[in-house]
Amino acid sequence: MAESRGTIDRTQYPPAGTWEFDKNHTHIGFVARHMISRVRGAFEEFDGTIVIGEDPLESSVEVEIQAASVQTRTGMRDDHLRSPDFLDVERFPTLTFRSREIRPTGETTFELVGDLTIRDVTREVVLAAEFLGWGPGLQPDGSQMAGFTASTELVRQDWDLTWNVAVETGGWLVGDKVTIEIDTELLKASD
């Protein structure tokens, strides 16, 4: 069966089919305010599937993230993020995202609309995404690769992530907003 590629505004998207994360070249990270600075972190364990449709606007994304894999390079902070104050990984071991709609915003940019579940609370999010390109992979088997980025800003309280401490000099220890940043390389699954 010949592979086909969809086109939006003259951009050739990858062949239709199932694609998987190249975990060595995928980063699911976040940035949050801590007092007067920003802290960066990432989730190290995740899995998911991207199905690119014959019409790219009919594509879908499903991702499952292991909450306990959160890393900020500070053990005490990581333990706190895993605790009931934040992710409560014992009760809620996964975070999930399931797309519902793709809306083009430019030749290579689009909005990815879907449901994000954290701590059993599901809310709609809109990720600003960009298609970076695709082509034959560099692996010995010649696997095809595709690259995308996506980001969004969340308000912690929307997912019942309300823990905070007032700072003596004014303000709060943890900011209300968290920026999610995703950079991914995908590999086309064998048919």
Residues 142-177: tens digit of each pLDDT: 789 999 999 999 999 999 877 555 666 666 556 789
Q: Which residues contact 129 (CB under 8 A, 6 or more apart)?
A: 109, 110, 111, 112, 148, 149, 150
The pLDDT confidence band at residue 48, using thresholds 50, 70 and 90, is: very high
- Looking up tokens 């980001």 gives 151
Is the pLDDT confidence value at 70 over 80? Answer: yes
